[in-house]
Amino acid sequence: MAEALQRVKARGIEAINAWLRDRGEGALRTGGGVFMWGAAAHAVYLLAVPEPLRPVVARRNARRAMRFSLAALLAVGAYDILQSSRIDGERAALAAEHRRLTRAAAELDGGGGAAASEGGRADDDG
């Protein structure tokens, strides 16, 4: 298996060398020229066009704004839910405290009235 890979690799290298000998130098010059002119045009574009007006930057900024808006909306919703549950909990605690105080007041009124009347009778008897 290793020998077969070595043979294929050697044939590939020979084919590339033959292609470069035949017509590669001109192709490399052409490719290099295209790359260099493309890089120069891109550099001029980056210098000439303000960043917010570049289509890629505009799309990126639009995506960021959309993500930020969605995150803000979710954060506001989560805050609202947490606040609502906190307020509901406070209301439930206040209602329980109110019921406890109402029962305690009723016991004091009912129990205190009975104790006072019993005490009054005890004073009358004594």
pLDDT in tens, the chain (126 residues): 778 888 888 888 888 778 777 776 676 677 777 778 888 888 888 888 787 777 887 888 888 888 988 888 888 888 888 888 888 889 999 999 999 999 999 999 886 554 444 444 444 444
pTM score, whole prediction: 0.37
The whole-angstrom separation of Cα 12 and Cα 17 is 9
The whole-angstrom separation of Cα 80 and Cα 82 is 5
Which string of DSSP letters, residue by residue, matches 21-53? IIIIHHHHHHHHHHHHHHHHHHHHHHHHS-GGG
Domain boundaries, the chain: 1-48, 51-126
